[in-house]
Amino acid sequence: MAPERNAGTAVCPGSYDPVTYGHLDIIGRAANVFDSVVVGVVNQPVRKQKTLFSAADRVSFIEEQIAEYPHVQVKPFDTLLVDFAREHGAKAIIKGLRAISDFEYEFEMNQLNRKMAPDIESIYFMAAPEYSFLSSSGIKELAMFGGDISGLVPERVAARLQEELKR
Ligand code: PNS
């Protein structure tokens, strides 16, 4: 029986360049708690760095993995995160925390987002131990040097990474 949920809408924002099983774990856990989840894929170079994959690719990589969650949708966004959340009537922003090193950045983002939208709560899910070392940048580096990334990202993402990095 599907678990009962009564927690409204949440957004799960990120660059997802590319999505990893760590991200998908957080999205799935958010989907188990909230009535509706909007995965927001940043369509802006937030950190000036160009993304390896286009927003359309990053959206489709996630969409392919969420078939079991009909109440999860994936959308690109290029506005303030809090505006994106408001647009979707979200009460919460969900983020994953892997290690203490994530805390400083997330703390800063939390303060900024809270200042702009005190009515939207940021909620942090601790990464599952098996994914606590996993990051999109780590995956790209591993792939670039021929490391084995199977089991860390979906198969199509792994294949596309090999293609992109050959260029
Ligand atoms: O770590 P990520 O995946 O690059 O995080 C992206 C995001 C949007 C979740 C993070 O930068 C954030 O919380 N930003 C808040 C400020 C904001 O709204 N930026 C505009 C993004 S289009």
Q: What was the pLDDT predicted at 156? A: 97
Q: Does the C-beta of 20 come closer than 6 Å to ligand 1?
A: no
Ligand 1 midpoint to CA 45 (Å): 10
What does each C-alpha distance from 122 to 43, 57, 75 come to in angstroms? 21, 27, 19
Candidate from 28-42, 46-60, 84-98 with smallest mean pLDDT: 46-60
For residue 48, the model assigns a pLDDT of 64
Q: What is the mean pLDDT of the chain?
A: 93
Q: What is the pTM of this model?
A: 0.94
Give the pLDDT score at 26: 98
Asked whether the predicted pLDDT for residue 46 surpasses 70, the reply is: no
Residue 41 · residue 58 · CB < 8 Å: yes
Give 67's contacts (C-beta < 8 A, 6+ positions apart): none
Q: How far apart are CA 106 and CA 121, in angstroms?
A: 13
Q: Which numbered atom of ligand 1 lies nearest the CA of 77? A: 22
Q: Which of 81, 86, 111, 115 to mutate to test the pocket of ligand 1 (most atoms within 8 A of CB)?
A: 81
**88 Cβ partners below 8 Å, 6+ apart?**
9, 11, 38
* Chain centroid, CA 158 distance in Å: 17
Tens digits of residue pLDDT in 79-104: 999 999 999 999 999 999 998 889 99
The bridge status of strand 36-42 relative to strand 9-14 is parallel
Higher local confidence (pLDDT), 60 or 165: 60
**Rounded Cα gap, residues 166 and 85, in angstroms:** 37
For 48, residues 6+ apart whose C-beta sits below 8 A from its C-beta are none
Lowest-pLDDT choice from 8-22, 55-69, 95-109: 95-109
Out of 24, 42, 111, mutate this one to test ligand 1's pocket (max ligand atoms within 8 Å of CB): namely: 42
